[in-house]
A and B are shown apart, each in its own frame.
Chain A
Amino acid sequence: MESLTPRLVPFLLFWIPLALAGLGLGAFVEFTRAGDALQREGTTLHRIVSQRVDQHDAHLTSLAAVLASSNAESASFRAVIEAMQRFYPRIAAVELIETVSAGNVSPSLADFDPAMLSARVGALAPGQAVTLASRSGSPFYALVKRVPYSGHGPRALVLVIDARLLTEPEGGLPGDAALKLSDAAGNAIVQHGWPLAQGEPTPDLSFVKALGSRSQPLVLELARRPAFAELLPPILLFGWPIAAGLGLFLLLTVLRERRSARRAREAVLLHEHDARLAHAMRVNTVGEMASGIAHEITQPLTAILSQSQAGLRLARSGDAAPSDLVGVLEANVRHARRAGEILERLRAYVTRREPQRQPNDLNRIVSNVVELSQRDLQERGVTLRLELTEPGPQALLDRVSIEQVVHNLVRNAAEAVEAMPAGRREVVLATRLVDGEAEIAVSDDGPGIAEADMARLFEPFFTTKSSGMGLGLPLCERLVESAGGRIAARNGPECGAVFTVRFPALANELGMAAE
């Protein structure tokens, strides 16, 4: 479970902004689309209403023509009005008025202010038409047209228009759209759903356009506020975050898989590299020891050659006692064995092979290292002091690896004390059992380790030596850890450095196994 958090955090970090951005973009697109739809519908409705309004002018003109050829009481005039009202139900009434006064107004004109009506009629030129809104706020308006009349006083035809039917859309508006038709002065003639209710979080869409008619300069307004669900339909609201989450999850998973695959490859490479490096280091160490080893082997060879030649001389001289020759041959056997041992040690050290963990005596390891390092230490004028605990601590480890580690540590220590005055050119190799662990400690009297360097000692390529590669200690650490042990460095109580290598002591391990 704890591996989930480091995965969840980057996922959320990408997913939340991605989901929000997608939703915002979707809502914006939906809003724009709704706005376009409203404009389109408004334009259509505006065109229809304009046509209808123009029809009113035509009606008035034809009524005026009928009136001119007959009179208001004629059957044909009545028939025209009836037909007109049948075909155009929005024309609520048709009236011919002569003198407008409070008394003689017909009931169909009761909604209109008689004074206003008569004032309008009086102000009109013959043939001109004007619109008058109702005084009661009912959804009707009057279209008043003055007609020529030979009698006294002005005469006018009045169409009472039901504005609700006038603004009836052909295809229907979106259910929640609000509509308003007002006269030029801004008085509303008809409105439904107007004004829009407050409190919705979304912004409003609106459409406003005046009719082109001269006689009826009405203003058509549409408004609507898209519902939240319209801007963010469920398929977008839920579908997008889920789709984005799934996509993101897949992407992150693929990336993580690729990264972990690459890490695994690198780890394999690194491991191979380590193995090669360890071998190279060993060969390199051997190279450094080569002159010492050559000298080591030269000694028995010299002894063998000289003994043999001396033996030959004795034998040829004829007066040699057999015991002399036996002595020579015995010495030769001894020298040859010595050379063989040296070679065996060298071979075991250089051969590249798998580490073998076996019970080993740390004292034995120390004495092997002493033999390997002795010549080198002599060259440097460094003395080696042993403080071995008896019996030697036992631990499970790969002998050659750990000998390499201890040899490295001894060489480092020797380099540290090389420049010291004669009294301090000493390296101490100690073994002991401490807290159930078998320990080898290499200490010197050198300058010690600077505090700043302490933390970086085991870092690869970190070195304080002018000619060092900085690989010795990291390699030691790896060799020790692969054998189940650990390596540590500290400064000595007075001066110098102390490196300790510890392994679980074998007796202890066996005891635990027995429990």
Chain B
Amino acid sequence: MKPAPRLVYLIDDDADVRDALVLLLRTMGFAPRPFAGVQPFLDRPDPRQDGCLVVDIRMPGTSGLQLLERMAKEAGGMPTVIITGHGDVAACRRAFKAGAVDFLTKPIDEQVLLEAVEAAFAVLDQRNRAETARAGRDALKAKLTQREREILDLVAEGLSTKEIARALDVSPRTVETHRAHIAEKLGAGSVAEMVRFALEG
């Protein structure tokens, strides 16, 4: 089954440009959602996050840059491609600092637009994958007991079994047993894998 077209939120105050870009994005196989300004976009009925944003810098009211900077502060803003009528270096730097994926000057060639939007979706996918992996790890870690979590942290700090035993005032054998349980619960075959859980989780 063909995957559903991906959402591209397009914000530009110029109706002609908006219409043209919508048509172009549609022929590229995306599902463009046009908005005439930042406010209508923020007020959209279904604030689903799984899309990317193509937004003009210079607009009456809130500009594209302000939107970008605002979203950068909130966690999980959409990957954003900035488009502008003139290549202003200061605006460009501001855009990248605020986390823009790309900065395109009008008129925009289709190839450039396609690559930028695809790059934005790559960022989105990457972020989604990382999110999924992390959710999985969190689920596994939830299975550990309090004592086992303590020992996992000490292992991650680089302590040996004997040192952990001394620190927790238990016998090395007990520590070994806990470590075996941890490895079993997390499905980690090596110390390195265990350490990764401890750090990323």
Interface contact B85-A295, CB-CB below 8 Å? yes
When the two chains form their complex, are residues A294 and B85 in contact, meaning their CB atoms are under 8 A apart? yes
Known: A299-B17, A303-B20, A338-B16. 18 other contacts (CB 8 A): A294-B85, A294-B86, A295-B85, A299-B14, A303-B14, A303-B16, A305-B20, A305-B108, A305-B109, A306-B17, A306-B108, A306-B110, A309-B24, A310-B20, A310-B24, A310-B27, A310-B110, A331-B20
User: Is residue A216 contacting chain B, with contact meaning CB distance below 8 A?
Assistant: no
Q: Does A302 contact B (CB under 8 A)?
A: yes
Expressed in whole angstroms, the Cα–Cα distance for A379 and B108 within the complex equals 23
The digit string for A272-313, where 1 denotes a CB below 8 A from any CB of B, is 000000000000000000010011001111111111011001
Q: Considering residues A304, A310, A378, which has the most beta carbons from chain B within 10 angstroms of its beta carbon?
A: A310
C-alpha spacing A107/B37, complex, angstroms: 152
Bound-state Cα–Cα, A378 to B85, Å: 15
Min CB distance, B50 to chain A, in Å?
A: 24
- Asked if B19 is at the interface of the complex by the 8 Å CB criterion, the answer is yes
Most buried by B among A304, A306, A309: A306
Residues 3-28 of chain B: 1 if any A CB is under 8 Å from the residue's CB, otherwise 0?
00000000000101101110110111
Q: Tell me whether A299 and B16 are in contact in the complex, defined as CB-CB below 8 angstroms, given that A305-B107, A310-B23, A310-B24 are known contacts.
A: yes
B residues within 8 A CB of A306? 17, 20-21, 23-24, 107-108, 110, 113
List the interface of chain B (C-beta within 8 A of A).
14, 16-17, 19-21, 23-24, 26-28, 58, 60, 85-86, 106-110, 113
Minimum Cβ distance to chain B for residue A332 (Å):
9
15 contacts between A and B (CB under 8 A): A294-B85, A299-B16, A303-B17, A304-B20, A304-B107, A305-B107, A305-B109, A306-B24, A307-B20, A309-B110, A310-B23, A313-B24, A314-B27, A334-B16, A379-B58
B15–chain A nearest beta-carbon distance, Å: 9
Within 8 Å CB of B108, what residues of A?
A: 302, 305-306
Q: Give the distance in Å from the alpha carbon of A295 to the alpha carbon of B86 in the complex.
A: 7
A298-341 contacts to B, CB under 8 A, are 298-307, 309-310, 313-314, 317, 328, 331, 334-335, 338
Whether the pair B27, A335 counts as a contact (CB closer than 8 A) is no
Number of interface residues of A (CB under 8 A): 25
**Which 4 interchain pairs have the tightest Cβ spacing?**
A306-B20, A295-B85, A313-B27, A310-B24
Tell me which residues across on chain B come within 8 A of A299, comparing CB atoms.
Answer: 14, 16-17, 85, 106
B110 to chain A, nearest CB (A): 4
Partner pick for B28 among A300, A305, A313, A334, CB 8 A cutoff: A313
Docked Cα-Cα span, A298 to B24, in Å, equals 17
Q: How far is the CA of A302 from the CA of B16 in the complex (A)?
A: 9
Taking chain A's interface residues, is the majority helix, strand, or loop, or is none over half, making it mixed? helix
Q: Which residue of A lies closest to B15 (CB)?
A: A303
In the assembled complex, the Cα of A335 lies from the Cα of B23 at a distance in Å of 15
CB distance from A370 to the nearest CB of B (A): 15
- Interface pair A298/B16, CB less than 8 Å apart: no
Complexed CA–CA distance, A53 and B113 (Å): 141
**Nearest opposing residue in chain B for A294, CB measure:** B86
Which residues on A are within 8 Å of B, measured CB to CB? Answer: 291, 294-295, 298-307, 309-310, 313-314, 317, 328, 331, 334-335, 338, 378-379
Q: What residues of chain B lie closer than 8 Å to A335, measured between beta carbons?
A: 16, 20
**Contact (Cβ within 8 A) A307 B107:** no
Say how far B3's CB is from chain A's closest CB, in angstroms. 18
Contacts of A379 in B (CB 8 A): 58
With a CB–CB cut-off of 8 A, which chain B residues contact A317?
A: 27
Q: Report the Cα distance A331→B23, complex, angstroms.
A: 11
Task: Choose one: A301, A303, A313, A378; the contact of B19 (CB below 8 Å).
Answer: A303
Bound-state CA distance A411–B141 (Å) is 65
Assembled-state Cα–Cα distance A314/B85 (Å): 26
Task: Return chain A residues, CB-CB under 8 Å to B26.
Answer: 310
A334 proximity list for chain B (CB < 8 A)? 16
A309 to B14, CA, bound (A): 18
- When the two chains form their complex, are residues B86 and A298 in contact, meaning their CB atoms are under 8 A apart? yes
B94 shortest CB reach to chain A, Å: 16
Q: In the complex, A310 Cα to B19 Cα: how many Å? A: 11
Query: What is the CB-to-nearest-CB distance from B63 to chain A, in angstroms, rounded to a whole number?
Result: 10
Report A-chain residues with C-beta under 8 Å of the C-beta of B27. Answer: 310, 313-314, 317
Contact of B16 among A291, A295, A300, A309 (CB under 8 A): A300
Q: Give, as a whole number of angstroms, the nearest-CB distance from A413 to chain B.
A: 19
Contacts of B107 in A (CB 8 A): 298, 301-302, 304-306
Q: Are B106 and A298 in contact (CB under 8 A)?
A: yes
Most buried by B among A302, A304, A313, A314: A302
Specify which chain B residues have a CB less than 8 angstroms from the CB of A307 in the assembled complex: 19-20, 23-24
Complex: how many Å from CA A338 to CA B15? 13
**CA A300 to CA B23, docked complex, whole Å:** 15
CB distance from B16 to the nearest CB of A (A): 4
Cα distance A294–B106 when bound, in Å? 10
Contacts of A294 in B (CB 8 A): 85-86
Assembled-state Cα–Cα distance A328/B108 (Å): 17
**A306-B23, A313-B28, A314-B27 are known contacts. Are A301 and B60 too (CB-CB below 8 A)?**
no
Q: Assess the A331–B86 pair: CB atoms within 8 A.
A: no
B60: which A residues are within 8 A, CB to CB?
A: 378
Q: Are A302 and B17 closer than 8 Å at their CB atoms?
A: yes
The smallest beta-carbon distance between B61 and chain A, in angstroms, is: 9
Contact A328 B106 (CB under 8 A): no
* Bound CA span A306–B25, Å: 9
Q: List B contacts of A331 (CB < 8 A).
A: 16, 19-20
Identity of the chain A residue whose Cβ is nearest the Cβ of B114 in the assembled complex? A309
Complex alpha-carbon distance, A307 and B21, angstroms: 7
Q: How far is the CB of A480 from chain B (nearest CB, A)?
A: 32
Complex interface: chain A residues within 8 A of B17 (CB): 299, 302-303, 306
Cβ-neighbour of B23 out of A291, A298, A328, A338 (below 8 A):
A328
Complex: chain B residue closest to A299, CB-CB: B14
A305 to B16, CA, bound (A): 11
